Every structure is written in structure tokens, then in C-alpha cells.
Structure 1
Amino acid sequence: MQHQRRQSGDAVIAGLTVGVLTPHTAPGPEVEIPEMTSETLDVVVARITRPADATVAVPKPGSAAEHLRMLASPSAMHSAVASLREASVDVTAYASTTAGYAIGPVAEVAMIRHLRQLAGVPVVTSGLAATQALKAFGVRRVALIHPPWFDAELGDLGATYFREQGFDVVALTATSLSERPDRVRPEQVIDYVSANVDASTEAVFIAGNGFRAASTIDELERRTGKLVLEANQVLLWSILAATGSKLRVGGYGRLFARG
């Protein structure tokens, strides 16, 4: 379990403590969520690992979606959730867009209910947060921007995930970007999205909590004229709504400017 704290000078300002629950190893929300806030925000990270329970199904070789479904099982998450509860977090953020894709929105809602019972605090997920944000702005047609490390199956599941919730979807995989998350630069994301998003699209969702693109949102909205959402941005938006927190967010798109 990892713990990060934002400070102002030498003084720690009282704020929100967010528990990030994730099956991924690449840094994502624990980096971007504090960066988006202008006040202190603590982040406690608990990474989900494969359970020792022999009754849990073994994922198919090479299937990322099956592996994510296995890690979204109650037995897989129990230990990580318990560690967040011990840390007295105010909210649990399940940070895996692809896990939401793999299990689908109906199962994701059921997972949230189960996690809420285990954690004893509000629970939010990046996929359903994006859905709520799109609906709040009345969006019907959305462009999904997937990083190159999403395989074809996950890309198809992503399109299905949003179509099942009533959206018209265009799914794009940014294959021109590096397959290493730490090597993707903001200007590369801006150039790719600006060049590839269709004029008929009303909004853009940059998926993947390890695809750290929050810093591109304001420029992309300026260039495209469209609502731009990003996995960790919508996760923070949902966290603030779920907790009633008044933490200030400077910039990062129309989403936070909405009254």
C-alpha cells in the first residue's frame, strides 16, 4: 500500500483522503488527482493482486479482459479493500477503466455496491464516472481515445460498454503513441486527438487511468471546441460529488467549471 500527501509549504492542510483501488501497476490517479487540486489531498493506493483462493477461475492465457475480470472478483479485492479501510479513507476510487470495460456496466454497478459494503465509504469508478459526466452534458456521440497498450478486445469492449448505455461511439486507438505510459508526452496526445476526432463528435473521453493526459484537457477543449473527459479527471469529479467535498480544482476542462 502506498500513501501520498500534498503539502502547502511546511504545513499540511486538512483535506480529503482518497483510497485508490487498482489492479494496475502503472502510476495514474495517485499522480493526477493531487495535481488537479489546489489544496491538500491524501492518496492511499492499494493494488489488487491475484487471490490465493484456488476456486477462482484461472484467466485464459493472453487474455487481458479475463485477467481483469478475475481481479474484479470479491475474493481478489478483499485484502486490498481491507487495507484502505484500515487507512480510514473518505472514499474509495476503483481506478481501472479497462476492468469496467471487461465486466460491463451492469456488473460494475453491482461491484460498487459490494465494495461499498466492504469499505464503509462511498465508492466510485472511472467508467461510470465518465458515463455520468457525458449524461450531465447531454452528450450522445462520443469519441473514445484508447492508448496503444489496450488490445483489440479491450477496445471493442470499451465501445460496447458505452453503447450499452445509449451512446453513439467512435473508438480510436492511439497507435502512434508509445506503448510505455511514462514515455507519452502531452503534446503528442494533443496532436493525436486534434487530428483524429471527427467533427460530428460532441465529446472526447481519453480512457485508461494509467494514460495520464489530464494536462491536455484545457488545450484540447480550446482546439476542438468539444467537451473533453479523461479517466482520472472524471474520477476526481465523481469523488468530489460522492463526498460533497469543496476542494478547489483549477482548470481541467468544462467538467469542473459546470455550476
Structure 2
Amino acid sequence: MVITSVGEDAHRVDALLDLGSDERLADGAAQLAAEKPDAVMWACTSGSFVFGPQGAQDQAAAVAAAAGVPASSTSIAFVDALRHLGIRRVAVAASYPDDVAQHFVAFLTAGGAEVVSMGSHGIYTAAEVGTLTPDQVVAMVVAADHPDAEAVLVPDTAMHTLAIVDKLEAAVGKPVLTANQVTVWKGLALLGPVPSLPGLGTLFGDRQ
């Protein structure tokens, strides 16, 4: 794993465009190339969706070229996971300020999803997101859910969700896709069939 450089920890569009810039990603990918990975994931949601669908694809292509292996990103993984599960109508539980969260909504919409509900929580930094407790994350997901939503999406890799995916799904009675969960899933999918893994929700169930 390589942590790419960060200019400013801020959920603000200009800061996120800098976070996902070609220079920062190329440097990180070059460092990873020395480790000879089989695939690479740009594990950041907001630093990819603010570039839009084509921009996110361009990011992944640039990382793949620099690392010399297949690559993707968290934002792309969300869209691919929805298609894999056959889900179209979703609710979004976003930690971001509303203007940033709307970029994610637009990204999902361009990918064929219908966002029926979106809750944004105005958290300005990834550092603050990382302090959310499991109970706070559950409450955020429950609040964002909607009867018409087939799944709830939680788009922030700074949020600690991997250990509580099953708890989140139990709270709303439907699939929940979180940033770190879909990142792991997509990274494995770049290599071949994804194994069924207990504790990681519907996405990692037997339907592969």
C-alpha cells in the first residue's frame, strides 16, 4: 500500500481535484510499481468522482500505465458493484458537504443508477470522518435509507466500515455498499472471480 500525497485534507472540490491530480497519482503508482502488484486500486471516492465518469476512467488508465498492471478506483467500483448486483435505485449516506455529495450523485446517475435519497453530513475533513463511531455510521445509514432504495451507498474511504458491513445491512434490511468494501471487491475482480467472504455483506455473498 502507498499513501498518495495530500495537499489539504478538505472535502472541498478544489482540494479534491488537487488530491486526485495526475502528478500525485503518478507518483503513488510509480512507488507501487516497485512492489510488483498484480492490480492497483486508487482507494479514494471523492478524489475520483469529482473528475466525472470520464475523468475517473482517465485516472485509472493513467495509474494502470504507470504501475504496469490493471487499475481502477473506488468511484468506478461503486458503479460496477451496482451493476454486478443488478441494483439501480439507491440511497446515499454521504459524510461530505452537500456540494461535494452532489458530485457523487451525478457520477452514479451517469453510471445508470437512480439516487432516490441522499443524506449529506457536512463533514469537512477525512480526519474527522475517521473518528465516527460504528453507532454513528449506523445512524447515518439508517437516516439516509429510503423505502424505494434497493441499497444504501456509503462513499468515504476514511469511514471505518469494513468491520460493520453486516451490521449496516441488518439495520436497513438491504445491501449496503461502502467505499472500502467496494474497493476491495473491485481490486479482487481485476484479478478474476471474487471469492465469497463472510462478514463483508451481500456484495461478497455467493452471487459472483
How high is the TM-score relative to the length of structure 2? 0.87
Aligned equivalent of 1:126: 74
**Per-residue deviation, residues 53-103 of structure 1 (Å, max 9, x unmatched):** xxxxxx9xx882122223333233222221111122222110110012210
CA distance in 2: counterparts of 1:243 and 1:114, whole angstroms: 18
Aligned equivalent of 2:2: 45
Q: 1:154: how far off?
A: 0.7
Structure 2 residue 47 is the aligned partner of structure 1 residue 90: no
Matched to 1:116, the amino acid is: A
CA distance in 1: counterparts of 2:146 and 2:63, whole angstroms: 37
Aligned equivalent of 2:148: 200
Structure 2 residue 21 is the aligned partner of structure 1 residue 73: yes
Structure 2 residue 188 is the aligned partner of structure 1 residue 240: yes
Is 2:74–2:179's contact at 8 Å kept on the other side of the alignment? yes
Aligned equivalent of 2:120: 173
1 or 2, which has the higher strand percentage? 1
Structure 2 residue 172 is the aligned partner of structure 1 residue 224: yes
**Per-residue deviation, residues 107-143 of structure 1 (Å, max 9, x unmatched):** 1112211211111011121111110111112211111
The number of residue pairs the alignment matches comes to 203
Give the SS at the match of 1:234: helix
Structure 1 residues 200, 127: closer, same or farther in 2, change over 3 A?
same
1 or 2, which has the higher helix percentage? 2
Aligned equivalent of 1:17: none
CA distance in 2: counterparts of 1:144 and 1:117, whole angstroms: 32
Matched to 1:159, the amino acid is: V
Q: 1:188: how far off?
A: 1.9
CA distance in 1: counterparts of 2:28 and 2:47, whole angstroms: 16
Q: Structure 2: which 5+ runs fail to align? A: none
Is 1:46–1:83's contact at 8 Å kept on the other side of the alignment? no
CA distance in 2: counterparts of 1:208 and 1:63, whole angstroms: 10
CA distance in 2: counterparts of 1:74 and 1:135, whole angstroms: 28
CA distance in 2: counterparts of 1:94 and 1:237, whole angstroms: 13
Q: 1:203: how far off?
A: 0.6
Q: Please show how residues 25-64 of structure 1 align to structure 2 within 5 Å.
A: 44-49=1-6, 64=12
Q: 1:244: how far off?
A: 2.5
CA distance in 1: counterparts of 2:56 and 2:143, whole angstroms: 33
Of 152, 160, 163, 2:109 maps to 163
Is 1:46–1:84's contact at 8 Å kept on the other side of the alignment? no
Matched to 1:216, the amino acid is: I
CA distance in 2: counterparts of 1:197 and 1:96, whole angstroms: 23
Larger radius of gyration between Structure 1 and Structure 2: 1
Structure 2 residue 94 is the aligned partner of structure 1 residue 146: yes
Matched to 1:208, the amino acid is: D
Between 151-160 and 244-253, report the one with greater CA deviation: 244-253
Matched to 2:102, the amino acid is: D
